[in-house]
């Protein structure tokens, strides 16, 4: 095992009607003027945004609003949010939504604490030294961004998707009401389940191990796979929705990776898929993972044996995972994801972008350069 630093400062308020504690949480965490940041679709239609506005008004907490967040959140909206917050004197950002809204909020938080362009952090030209605090009202369990140190933005001018990891962006609190996820479409639910699984698998498939972390990861994987199947048939089941929502946080707050060096090669490869084709992140991960696994399996077959034995009940892992993804409506290849094969030019472009011109490598279980990236994209394109 490796030495590790585990830091989880996010206060979690979990359960039915938990959003009613929002005014007290904002005051507790020092909010004087709030940016209410959201996508604008389901949160508005469900009445959640109206409820939050009413509560903030009643509590005397001033706020301004910025909607319009889309999947694979855009740098252009983050820059707009930074300018709005500076003009309005905002000192706290409230994200109402899922991972895209939370990451957009984190990007605004970084930018407000920095004199330069916020993209500097995502382009590895600077490291964050602070951030305006973020709180979350979670409506889509998937990314785990409500407890993670991770932020991913898409530069819509350069067509680049990049991440930035720093403890400065960990939310101060997250309000999590599983009832708010009852009406999520089946596809969005399945994408979320896949993202949760992948955040765990990216840490589990490591050449370094800690038995207790492995056991936690294996239990999480078994539980989420089971709940993911069942919830699609019983979408108003509170226990299933609660299981998935809490698993999303546990999968990406660092717990399952303690003592290990994480991989995240599949995530890096998928960023280029979602940039190229605008696909849902979870679906892109499902389309790539089995090809990644097949490509790297020889690096440590014993890890795949443990996965088979302790998670899949002794079943062969690659075929079993392909079957699982398809059973919940996810693709297991690029053609299944986009409805056709990727062209050679598209694959070359994705590998070039992922390797940042050929000089950047990803992964840890097996380190991937441009050649290896090309090989995996081609395998996934069959």
Mean pLDDT, rounded, for 238-254 = 97
Whole-number pLDDT of residue 27:
97
Whole-number pLDDT of residue 41:
79
Which CATH number covers residue 324? 1.20.1090.10
Mean pLDDT, rounded, for 16-38 = 97
Q: What percent of the chain has pLDDT over 90?
A: 96
Whole-number pLDDT of residue 377:
98
Are 173 and 241 part of one and the same domain?
no
Query: Is residue 344 domain-resident?
Result: yes
Are 146 and 200 part of one and the same domain?
no
Q: What are the CA-CA distances from residue 381 to residues 282, 287, 331, 346, 356 (Å)? A: 17, 9, 12, 11, 21
Q: Which of residues 180, 196, 230 is at a domain's end?
A: 180
Q: What percent of the chain has pLDDT over 70?
A: 100
pLDDT band for 287, please (50, 70, 90 cuts): very high
Q: Which of residues 149, 180, 211 is at a domain's end?
A: 180
CA atoms within 13 A on the CB side of 131: 27
Query: Is residue 305 domain-resident?
Result: yes
Are 152 and 275 part of one and the same domain?
no
pLDDT tens figures, 186-240: 999 999 999 999 999 999 999 988 899 999 999 999 999 999 999 999 999 999 9
Q: Which of residues 136, 161, 180 is at a domain's end?
A: 180
On the question of pLDDT at 1 being above 90, the answer is no
Whole-number pLDDT of residue 197:
98
> 77 lies in which domain range?
11-180
Query: Is residue 3 domain-resident?
Result: no
Query: Is residue 313 domain-resident?
Result: yes
Whole-number pLDDT of residue 43:
85
Whole-number pLDDT of residue 180:
95
CA atoms within 13 A on the CB side of 103: 26
pLDDT tens figures, 299-314: 999 999 999 999 999 9
How many domains is the chain built from? Answer: 2
Mean pLDDT, rounded, for 346-370 = 97
Are 64 and 144 part of one and the same domain?
yes
Are 171 and 191 part of one and the same domain?
no
Mean pLDDT, rounded, for 62-90 = 97
Whole-number pLDDT of residue 2:
86
């Amino acid at each position: 095992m490796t030495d590790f630093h585990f830091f989880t400062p996010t206060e979690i308020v979990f359960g039915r009607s938990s959003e009613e504690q929002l005014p007290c949480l904002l005051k507790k965490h020092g909010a004087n003027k709030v940016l209410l940041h959201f996508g604008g679709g389901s949160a508005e239609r469900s009445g959640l945004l109206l409820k939050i506005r009413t509560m903030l008004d009643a509590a005397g907490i001033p706020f301004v609003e910025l909607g319009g967040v889309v999947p694979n959140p855009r740098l252009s909206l983050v820059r707009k949010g930074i300018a709005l917050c500076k003009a309005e004197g905002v000192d706290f950002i409230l994200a109402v939504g899922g991972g895209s809204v939370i990451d957009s909020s984190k990007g605004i938080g970084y930018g407000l604490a920095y004199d330069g362009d916020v993209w500097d952090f995502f382009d590895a030209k600077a490291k964050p030294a602070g951030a305006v605090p973020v709180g979350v009202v979670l409506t889509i369990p998937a990314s785990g961004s409500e407890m993670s140190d991770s932020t991913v933005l898409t530069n819509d001018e350069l067509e680049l998707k990049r991440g930035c990891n720093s403890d400065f962006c960990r939310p101060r609190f997250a309000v999590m009401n599983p009832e708010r996820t009852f009406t999520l479409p089946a596809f969005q639910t399945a994408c979320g389940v896949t993202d949760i699984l992948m955040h765990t698998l990216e840490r589990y498939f490591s050449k370094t191990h800690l038995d207790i972390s492995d056991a936690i990861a294996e239990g999480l994987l078994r539980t989420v796979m089971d709940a993911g199947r069942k919830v699609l048939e019983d979408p108003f089941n509170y226990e299933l929705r609660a299981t998935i929502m809490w698993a999303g946080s546990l999968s990406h707050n660092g717990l399952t990776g303690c003592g290990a060096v994480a991989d995240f090669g599949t995530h890096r490869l998928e960023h280029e898929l979602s940039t190229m084709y605008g696909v849902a992140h979870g679906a892109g991960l499902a389309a790539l993972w089995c090809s990644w696994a097949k490509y790297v399996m020889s690096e440590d077959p014993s890890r795949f044996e443990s996965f088979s034995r302790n998670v899949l009940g002794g079943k062969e892992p690659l075929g079993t995972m392909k079957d699982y993804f398809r059973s919940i409506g996810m693709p297991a290849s690029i053609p299944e994801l986009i409805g056709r094969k990727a062209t050679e030019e598209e694959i070359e472009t994705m590998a070039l972008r992922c390797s940042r011109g050929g000089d950047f490598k990803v992964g840890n279980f097996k380190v991937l350069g441009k050649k290896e990236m090309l090989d995996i994209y081609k395998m996934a394109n069959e």
